[in-house]
Every structure is written in C-alpha cells, then in structure tokens.
Copies of this chain bind each other. A is one copy, B any other.
Amino acid sequence: MKSAEAILALSALAQEHRLALFRLLIQAGPEGMPAGRIAEALGVPNSSLSHHLAQLAESGLVRQRREGRSLIYSADYAAMDRLVGFLMENCCAGAACDAPTANGKENER
C-alpha cells in the first residue's frame, strides 16, 4: 500500500457520518446493506449520504454492487487489513512488540 492510498482511506474514516457508516457495514457483514437502509439508519439525507458512500468506495474500504434498483454497499475487510498493516509497518524497528496487525492472526513480521 502506498501512502496516498492510506491517506485516502484514513480521510474516508475521519468523519462522523462516514465512520458510523463504515462501522455499520463492518457489523452488517459481507452481504452489506442498500444505500436507502443506511441513510435511514444514520438519519442523513440521501444526497449527503451518497457523497459519503462514494468517498468510502473511492478509498477502497467499501465495495458497491447493484441488486435490482438498489445499490448494496459492504465493507472490504481485506482493505482494512492492508491499511492497518501499512500503519504498523516495521513496527519497533522489527523487534517483537505488541503492535496491531491487520488480520487477527499472529504477528509474523
């Protein structure tokens, strides 16, 4: 992952509505949720929400797919994984430490 991508992803998360949105999708699981239901859940006008969804999708943290008239959004766990990996890269100059890893498995760096 390059720095520019990471910034895009972090900026996407660094906003009240988008953060709530992303966490909602994380909790919704891989099936995701249609835009309408998300807007309803968050109490944000459609046009605003659409703007935020686009930004999250652009950042790669969220996937979009169409299903009938609805657009379904879902969290991309692997992207989140890569982001955390990038942030903690070469943690403690390579020494073993309690640094976060991106995938819940043992730290193998």
Contact = CB atoms under 8 A, between A and B. Distances in A.
Interface residues of A, number: 43
A26 B99 contact: yes
Nearest to A8: B14
| A contact face: mostly helix, strand, loop, or mixed | helix
A105 B102 CA distance: 10
Contact of A81 (B13, B92, B100, B103): B100
Interface of A: 3, 6-7, 10-11, 13-16, 19-20, 22-23, 26-30, 77-78, 80-81, 84, 86-93, 95, 97-107
A30 to B, nearest CB: 7
A101 B99 contact: no
B77 A26 contact: no
A100 B77 contact: yes
A89 B20 contact: no
Contacts of A95: 29
